[in-house]
Amino acid sequence: MLRLLGRYLRPYRWLLVGVLVFQFTSALAMLYLPRLNADIIDQGVALGDTGFIWRTGRFMLAVSLGQILAGVIATWLAARASMALGRDLRNDVYTQVSGFSEREVSQFGAGSLITRNTNDVQQVQMIAMTGSTMLVTSPLLAVGGIIMALRQDVSLSWIIGVGVPVLLVVALVIVSRMVPLFRSYQLRLDAINRIMREQLTGIRVVRAFVREMIEEARFRQANTDMLVTGRKIGSLFVLIFPSAMFIMNTTMLAVIWFGGIEVEAGGVKVGSLLAFMQYVGQIMGGVLMASFMVIMVPRAAVSAERISAVLQVVPSLHEPADPVTTFPTPGTIELDDVTFTYPGADVPILDHVSFRVEAGQTVAVVGSTGAGKTTLLNLVPRLVDVTGGAVRLGGVDVRLLSFEALWGALGLVPQRPFLFAGTVGSNLRLGREDATDDEVWQALAIAQGADFVRELGGLEARISQGGTNVSGGQRQRLAIARAVLRRPAVLLLDDSFSALDVATDARLRAALWQELPQVTKLVVAQRVTTVTDADAILVLDDGQLVGVGTHQELLASNQTYREIAESQITVDAPNQGKGA
């Protein structure tokens, strides 16, 4: 935690210097006030010197106002520094996570990453705020109070020597039991966020399978786990203040009791005894303040540990030191003896796959579920990196290309198209910000989406987060239009026609082939009818490339492809009969 705070507070060190100066001034003023109060009683009231009372009283008032002003300025400076730390930390965590591959995101979990960039950052921000104020004031009050108290009456110092250690021991015992509970609490918070996120994302599935009661019970259990942990923390938390107040009041009682005996014997003046009592209060207050800080430190330390775990990850996908930015053969794709194995898997999902796609060609990838089709497509934009072999785009290994050059050459339509909250136009212009309205409409026409967009209200029609206010087929066509608008050299389509009816599928493919003849198209498809007009079809089976050719060639020579085609014809035949 100290390393994290030091790194992110370094740019604001002058603000922290100001906090130290003004907090030191405020603490000195607080320590000086009891002395002035003692002088008023012993030298003014006891002797009947009204002039001394007025002079010292005015000076005491000025010191009080100065103490208040210094405290306000210190708090304002601390707030600026801690808020800036929170801003920078959130920005760095977001930037780091944005560079994660699917492997790193899966390692932490989306819900946990959100918690780390919100609640955990807030905890570190809070410790920076309170630490730069309380952590400075409490030792000054405790140490300074002891010195000033001894100057008033040494004979009563044994009371401080008993009360302060007892208070420290009680605080440390309670705090030591809270550390593991705070770590457990953050894990419970992660679980709440994860379950909530899953249920909101999969609300349609939950309702379709009538799992509302089961999901409610699941959330209730996670919520109860968090409640139990929070209750344990709260039970310990509430102990420290009554315990501290009991020790403080007992100490004060001892001061009054034994101090009264000394006053009666003439060894101590009344004003000095009152000042001693105030210093004891300041000492105990400083210790209590430090104890409060110690309570906050464990949770902040856990949060800092979780944030550091994210920031210290070296993303598996990183840009080379001297990246290539040009393509010797634009539009070509080549997989050279590619093998890919997911972390922890025993067998590779792709096993020694090799093929080449020339510029302008349309190549389809087919195979059974789990054959590695999507994984193969994800290797081209480096959503994941190969574990063996090489993937080349435009004649260059994708691992040697700059991210800007690599992603600028590609238009990707993922298996699950995602739309952002905004308008149709804002979503499509993610592909190219400077696109004109005519270019956007042209892309929509190619994607067979112009008609339904006009019905929605045009390019300014609202799109909800995730595109939940449009159908699955409409989301796919908007995602295709977004990729087309990008004007890529290579278009990657991952089962992007699955939600379309056969007629729309055929029109869309015809428009793509006709309007974008120069664009290389790599298409993952489930339906054989989608790939019959491709220049070449790649057949995957258990991660291996078992066939390459046209539709007719593969029907005649490839058993795996023939089985896929015949199974679809068998399934479609009864449906066609019923439709007739």
Given a cut of 80, whether residue 195 has pLDDT beyond it is yes
Q: Is residue 453 exposed (0-12), middle (13-18) or buried (19+ Cβ within 10 Å)?
A: buried
Q: Give 44 or 503, the one with higher predicted confidence.
A: 503
List, for residues 354-382, the tens digit of each pLDDT value. 999 999 999 999 988 888 888 999 899 98
* Mean per-residue pLDDT of the chain: 83
Contacts of 325 (CB under 8 A, 6+ apart): 401, 402, 404, 405
Structure tokens at 63: 């010191």
Closest CA to 363 of 399, 334, 321: 334
Q: Are 54 and 60 in contact (CB under 8 A)?
A: no
Contact by Cβ (8 Å): 117, 94:
yes
CA separation for the pair 480, 519 (Å, rounded): 14
Distance CA 346, CA 336 (A): 22
Predicted confidence at residue 580, as pLDDT, reads 31
φ and ψ at residue 407, rounded to 5 degrees: -75, -25
Q: Helix (H, G, I), strand (E, B), or coil: what is residue 210? A: coil
pTM metric for this prediction: 0.67
Asked if 456 and 477 count as a contact pair (C-beta separation under 8 A), the reply is no
Of 520, 469, 518, 521, the closest CA to residue 497 belongs to 521
Quick: pLDDT tens for 378-399: 899 988 888 899 999 999 999 9
Q: Give the model's confidence band at 149: pLDDT under 50 very low, under 70 low, under 90 confident, else very high.
A: confident
Mean pLDDT value across residues 477-489 = 91
> How is residue 60 written in tokens?
């005491």
Task: Tell me how crowded residue 125 is: count the other CB atoms within 10 A of its CB.
Answer: 22
